[in-house]
Amino acid sequence: MRIVLLGPPGSGKGTQAAMLKERLGVPHISTGELLRAAVADGTELGKKAKAAMDAGQLVSDDLMLGLIEEKLGRPEVAPGFILDGYPRNLAQARALDELLDRLGQPIDRALELTVDEEQIVQRLAKRAEEEGRSDDTEEVVRNRLAVYHEQTAPVSSHYEEKGILVRVDGIGEIETINQRLADALA
């Protein structure tokens, strides 16, 4: 099962993807986590990505495609994957389609977690207190939300046109939401 998980920052993609991974037995690929690890390790990718991440802007499509190609070429993704944080704009969505067509492994389902803006701002403020992520400050959060609306929201329509998008209510208990996602895959 090859799944793309969509939704605004703070919609709970990371939490839900970790649980879906257990349910489905396929790896969870989070581009945000991969990038944060690259920054922490001081790799070339990390050095190139850091400024954009700190500003709440997108890292370049070229760098991201390199990262994704490398991950999706690995043997452990043969049974499928849950992709979280990619694609984040239409160019990335098209590049991913091309890559997966080439591999003969198209996306089965795109799941979009829907959460209203007020909830998101509250959740991210709470996460900033608890985790201290450097891109959870108020100004950077505003940028990330703007980038989401301008660049990432159209990605949902891309999958809707392909007939593989399911929107799932992202408000409620974590377990309940996970069950909704599982139902959307059935």
Write out the catalytic residue numbers.
13, 88, 127, 133, 144
CA-CA distance, 121 to 125, in Å (whole number)?
Answer: 6
**Choice between 33 and 186, CB closer to ligand ADP:** 33
All residues at 6 or more sequence positions from 67 whose CB lies less than 8 Å from its CB, including other chains: 31, 34, 35, 45
Write out the binding residues for ligand ADP, residues 19-78 only, by CB under 6 A: 31-32, 35, 52-53, 56-59, 64
Looking at beta carbons, which residue is closest to ligand ADP? Answer: 32
12 binds ligand ADP (CB under 6 A): no
Coil/strand/helix, residue 171: coil
User: Which residues does residue 29 pair with via DSSP β-bridges, in sequence order?
Assistant: 83
Smallest gap from Cβ 186 to ligand ADP, in A, equals 26
**Choice between 157 and 183, CB closer to ligand ADP:** 157
Q: Are residues 27 and 77 in contact, defined by beta-carbon separation less than 8 angstroms?
A: yes
107 binds ligand ADP (CB under 6 A): no
Write out the binding residues for ligand ADP, residues 157-186 only, by CB under 6 A: none
**Choice between 52 and 166, CB closer to ligand ADP:** 52
110 binds ligand ADP (CB under 6 A): no
Number of C-beta neighbours around residue 72 at 10 A? 18
Smallest gap from Cβ 69 to ligand ADP, in A, equals 13
Strands 28-30 and 2-6: unpaired
Residue 69: exposure state from Cβ atoms within 10 A (0-12, 13-18, ≥19): middle
Write out the binding residues for ligand ADP, residues 82-101 only, by CB under 6 A: 85-86, 88, 92
Smallest gap from Cβ 110 to ligand ADP, in A, equals 14
- Which tokens belong to 86? 């990619």
Q: For 7-53, list the strands marked E by DSSP.
A: 28-30
Coil/strand/helix, residue 159: helix
Q: Applying CB under 6 A, which residues contact ligand ADP? A: 9, 31-32, 35, 52-53, 56-59, 64, 85-86, 88, 92, 135, 144
